Amino acid sequence: MVGLGAIRQVSRHRQALMFALTTPAMSSKVVTRNSVLFLRVSCKQCLSSSNLVQMRSLADSKQVNDNVEKIRRGESESVGNPEDLPHFRLPAVQSASEKASKSTTSAGKKEMPPIGTYVLPHPIWTEEQLHEVKVTHKQPDCLVDRLAYRTVRLFRGGFDVFSGFKFGTRNEKKWLNRICFLETVAGVPGMVAAMMRHMTSLRRLQRDQGWIHTLLEEAENERMHLLTALQLKEPSTLFRLCVIGAQGVFVTMFSISYVISAKFCHRFVGYLEEEAVKTYTKCLEDIDEPDGPMKHWRTQPAPDVAIRYWKMKPESTMRDVILAIRADEAHHRIVNHSLASLSKDEFNPYKPGK
Ligand SMILES: [Fe+2]
Ligand SMILES: [Fe+2]
């Protein structure tokens, strides 16, 4: 059991460190490298005996409420040294594209780093975490929640028709069309929300409470889903036109909605991610079915970009990629449901890469 004093001490160090790391330009004090290091050491010492809360979770109503309660009690994780995050570790495997890149460089040609070389910190899932993801639903609690849920259900229905999932049998072409299109849309909310909060911080001359990095990480994570799926698909002109049209409409609508109600937008994304988890679970069923339309993804090698991004084993398959993407979507689900349940001035409990 952690005493109240220890929790307060942890909270003080954590908030001071987050402040020092995230808002140096906004601070009235000069934060030196030494003071950051001191805070980091202090935090490590006082956290070593604490029960830290694993923030990754499912996202039904009870779990979202429990999560928000823990966040409000200050029971969230400490800020890790960026060099200790898995993202910054030397890759365990050297992918084929990396080898190709090195050999190209040694041959004196222009160096072209492989996709995924420059990415923000993001969770690397364990085998256990990949398989514990479940389809869940958070019951709407208020009018805003109900509105967000109805909007998502409407989008889902329309998208099932648009992607051909309502008719005929599913096949690889339909799956790739659906995944690629879905991910071009899914990458929008995090970027728009991050930009809105960034602008608000600049305009009001106030700190952001640490939300921006989580939102940017989400946007990049969705874009990496897209880049991974694009390794298997050559988009047609019609597909590209549909993406441009959808982006124009969705960016405009989401931006206006975020100005009116950030709560609605995060709840909307929470419900959108519930649907994404359902979709990827359905994809796994199609892969695992003995004569399923996607059974070849059980043995089809994972693209290099996926092996690099999720730090997967070299022998990983497309099935492993879908498991990793589904775990990411489940993470966005609890993050956005939690952010929707917090006031926009509350502290973001999700640390970089968590
Ligand atoms: Fe995604
Ligand atoms: Fe997502």
pLDDT tens, position by position, 163-199: 888 888 889 999 999 999 999 999 999 999 999 999 9
User: Among all ligands shown, which has an atom nearest to the Cα of 190?
Assistant: 2
State what percent of residues in the chain have pLDDT above 70: 73
- Count other C-beta atoms under 10 Å from residue 115's C-beta: 19
pLDDT at 270 over 50: yes
pLDDT of residue 15: 46
pLDDT of residue 64: 85
User: Which chain residues have CB less than 5 Å from ligand 2, an ion?
Assistant: 186, 273, 329, 332
Contact 278, 337 (CB under 8 A): no
- Count other C-beta atoms under 10 Å from residue 314's C-beta: 13
Distance in Å, CA 62 to ligand 1 centroid: 24
pTM: 0.73
* Each residue's pLDDT tens digit, 78-95: 544 444 555 444 444 444
CA angle centred on 306, ends 302 and 307, rounded to 5°: 80
pLDDT at 269 over 70: yes
Instruction: Give the helix ranges, DSSP H, for 52-142.
Output: 61-72, 96-106, 127-131
Q: Is residue 270 part of a domain?
A: yes
Beta bridge partners, 225, equal: none
pLDDT of residue 30: 37
Distance CA 26, CA 98 (A): 39
Distance CA 29, CA 24 (A): 8
Structure tokens at 232: 């298997």
For the chain, what is the mean pLDDT? 80
What is the arithmetic mean of pLDDT over 193-221?
95
Distance in Å, CA 214 to ligand 2 centroid: 12
Question: Is 273 labelled a binding residue?
Answer: yes
Query: Which tops the pLDDT comparison, 26 or 298?
Result: 298
* Each residue's pLDDT tens digit, 34-92: 333 333 433 343 333 333 344 456 778 888 888 888 877 877 665 444 445 554 444 44
Contact 101, 113 (CB under 8 A): yes
Lowest mean pLDDT among 12-21, 198-207, 222-231: 12-21
- Count other C-beta atoms under 10 Å from residue 245's C-beta: 10
Distance in Å, CA 38 to ligand 2 centroid: 36
Distance in Å, CA 317 to ligand 1 centroid: 18
Give the closest residue to 152 by CA, choosing from 281, 270, 326: 270
Distance CA 222, CA 186 (A): 6
pLDDT of residue 86: 53
Which residue's structure tokens are 């990411």? 328
Q: Is residue 174 part of a domain?
A: yes
Q: Is residue 93 part of a domain?
A: yes
Distance in Å, CA 134 to ligand 2 centroid: 15
Distance in Å, CA 313 to ligand 2 centroid: 23
Phi and psi of 301, rounded to 5°?
Answer: -60, 145
Q: Is residue 44 part of a domain?
A: no
Q: For residue 209, is it left (φ>0), alpha (ψ between -120 and 50) or beta?
A: left
Q: Is residue 310 part of a domain?
A: yes
Q: Is residue 39 part of a domain?
A: no
Distance in Å, CA 190 to ligand 1 centroid: 11
Question: Is 234 labelled a binding residue?
Answer: no
Contact 262, 142 (CB under 8 A): no
Lowest mean pLDDT among 28-37, 171-180, 196-205, 253-262: 28-37
Distance CA 326, CA 283 (A): 10
The CATH number assigned to the domain holding 92 equals 1.20.1260.140
pLDDT of residue 292: 87
Distance CA 248, CA 232 (A): 25
Give the closest residue to 334 by CA, choosing from 60, 126, 43: 60
User: Among all ligands shown, which has an atom nearest to the Cα of 226?
Assistant: 1
What is the arithmetic mean of pLDDT over 207-223?
95
Query: Which tops the pLDDT comparison, 300 or 52?
Result: 300
Name residues whose C-beta falls within 8 Å of residue 74's C-beta, 6 or more positions apart in sequence: 7, 8, 10, 11, 14
Question: Is 213 labelled a binding residue?
Answer: no
Q: Is residue 300 part of a domain?
A: yes
What is the arithmetic mean of pLDDT over 238-262?
97
Distance CA 51, CA 61 (A): 24
- Count other C-beta atoms under 10 Å from residue 90's C-beta: 5
The number of domains in the chain is: 1
Q: Could you tell me the pLDDT band of residue 112, with boundaries at 50, 70 and 90?
A: low
Question: Is 329 labelled a binding residue?
Answer: yes
The residue segments making up the domain with residue 141 are 83-341
Distance CA 27, CA 4 (A): 28
Q: Is residue 54 part of a domain?
A: no
Q: Could you tell me the pLDDT band of residue 285, with boundaries at 50, 70 and 90?
A: very high
Which amino acid appears at position 248 of this protein?
G
DSSP one-letter string for 256-303: HHHHH-HHHHHHHHHHHHHHHHHHHHHHHHHHHSTT-TTGGGGTSBPP
